[in-house]
Amino acid sequence: MKRLLAPALLLAALLAAPLPAQQGGRLVIEAGRIVTQAGPDIENGRIVIDGGRITAVGKAEEVEKPWDATVIGGKAFVAFPGFVEAHTSQGMDRANENIDVAPFLDIRDSIDPVAYFFEDCLRQGITTINVQQGANCVVGGRGMVVRPIGMTVEEMAMRPLFGLKLSTRPKGGKSRATQMQALRFAFEDLRLYLEGLVEKERDDAGYAKREALFQGRDLEAEAAQGRAMGGTAWKVDGLELVPRGALDERYAPLLELLEGRYTAFVHCGDPLDVVHALEVVRAQGILARTVLVIEQDCWKAADRIAEAGVPVILEGALLDVQRDPITGEEVETFVPKVLQEKGIRFALSSEDPNTRAPAYQAALAIAHGMERTAALDAVTRVPAEILGLGDEVGSLERGKLGNVLLCSGDPLSVTTWVEHVVIEGRLVYERAKDVRNKHLLEGVQPLGTAPPTSAEAGEDPEHEHEKADEDAGAEKDAGDEQKGKDEDKEKEDGGR
């Protein structure tokens, strides 16, 4: 077995990377209504963000406006915490490797910072995204939590090396039995490997050392990383003899999973997969750090999920429509409602392309009789807690990251636009400057492709748009004017 990556990467990656640029300025956000998701809404409120974090939230008359702060917003806006996407497999070139068990993979190498997906996240107001490998695997690689901004993965990263993907849904070419077999073998192989290491260390420490030197390994650096510990459900006798750094990169992440360093995201396609997933994570002693990523059919196993007490992320349609095989009757089940009734903590996900917008999903849940707070929590607070970011994102509170959406109305209304997105105190999206949005709405040809008619150049409003776009950065006035026009047009159109 060869060593694949320098261990130093691990150390570097474990540190949470801060947002690199624009930390100094203070930002004040004013809104006619602030939905804090941490108590009652604030009418006529003001949010102060300093150094990327919220330093004050309250009524405009109670919160002091720092003299040097940039002010955005106004009474027409509704401020809302940025949505949190608890689990997605997008923004990558490809979601899975062919290899069944590949915990050594790191999604960092796969994320495409300029993927259209991240741009779209801003448009929908998603400010925190947990990107994990796809479900077409047995054991996938490690994912990461990112913000949808930045030109490099490092700029995007909030929590690198976060979470490990497992799947009990049969991957392509596998039956359910072979999938389970492969999943059990993954952990069995790890144990055999560790036992082999210990045996080698015990039997012939000198030989192992010589071989390591022959391979060019830095034994001192390996020793400096401490000792391998092993999981809670099972122990390998004598594992403490093995320096952590001596572990092969192929196996190390799986051991780290057992040690509780990663959250396990287990994908389940059917209710039976839920049963299997819980059986596996119980056997490996990682139930407490498990999140189930379930498809709509899995609600049938809600009792098992509730009994295990694990949180779930609901991927796929919210409404499950099935035909009873005996009576032939069609039965509709609104899945979030079932999860809520069983007391399961759940987050909604934008993975299903039909229901991409978190706001839409929350609105759908409310339409099916869920309480407004519970529905909104499922796209903000709960996913934040599932990602261990409960103190950072998910609500507008003092001390949390300054991730704020300014919406043109109630965030759940279909006629509402996300007008501004602020991530950690930085204005990263303005709809007035969103060229693609404009093209979509107005059917304008992309820049430079529409042949300008010279005769009408002065009066043609479309031409003016293009001009305004070009000048938007330099001349703020022109942009504002354009925005006003947009809003007028929007009212005429009657919304999206």
Question: Residue 136 or residue 482: which is nearer to other proteins going by CB?
Answer: 136
Question: Residue 229 or residue 338: which is nearer to other proteins going by CB?
Answer: 338
Size of the site for other proteins (CB under 8 A): 36
Q: Residue 272 CB, nearest distance to other proteins (Å)?
A: 5
**174 contacts other proteins (rule: CB under 8 A):** yes
Structure tokens at 32: 């006619």
**337 contacts other proteins (rule: CB under 8 A):** no
Output the DSSP codes for 126-146.
Answer: EEEEEE---SSSSEEEEEEEE
Q: How far apart are CA 85 and CA 408, in angstroms?
A: 22
Helix (H) or strand (E) holding 44: strand 42-50
Question: Residue 41 or residue 303: which is nearer to other proteins going by CB?
Answer: 303
**22 contacts other proteins (rule: CB under 8 A):** no
User: φ and ψ at 289, to 5 degrees?
Assistant: -115, 35
Q: Residue 348 CB, nearest distance to other proteins (Å)?
A: 21
Structure tokens at 20: 């690199």
Q: How far apart are CA 106 and CA 226, in angstroms?
A: 23
- Sequence-separated (6 or more) residues with CB below 8 Å from residue 185: 101
User: 24: closest CA among 391, 424, 393?
Assistant: 424
**328 contacts other proteins (rule: CB under 8 A):** yes
Taking residues 258 to 287 in sequence order and writing x for each that binds other proteins by CB under 8 A, - otherwise, the string is: ------------xxx--xx-----------
Question: Residue 297 or residue 466: which is nearer to other proteins going by CB?
Answer: 297
For residues 305 and 268, the answer to whether their CB atoms sit within 8 Å is: no
Q: How far apart are CA 203 and CA 191, in angstroms?
A: 18
Q: Pick the binder of other proteins from 23, 44, 178, 225 (CB under 8 A).
A: 178
Q: Pick the binder of other proteins from 21, 151, 326, 474 (CB under 8 A).
A: 326
Q: Hey, CA dihedral for 443, 448, 450, 454, is it positive or negative?
A: positive
Q: Pick the binder of other proteins from 325, 399, 443, 461 (CB under 8 A).
A: 325
Question: Residue 279 or residue 442: which is nearer to other proteins going by CB?
Answer: 279
Query: What is the distance, to the nearest Å, from the Cα of residue 188 to the centroid of all Cα atoms in its chain?
Result: 31
Contact stretch for other proteins (CB under 8 A) within 57-65, 168-176, 281-289, 431-439: 168-176
Residue with tokens 């299903």: 352
Residue with tokens 């949180």: 311
Question: Residue 55 or residue 333: which is nearer to other proteins going by CB?
Answer: 333
Residues that bind other proteins (CB under 8 A): 2, 4, 99, 173-181, 185, 188, 192, 250, 270-272, 275-276, 299-304, 322, 324-329, 331, 333
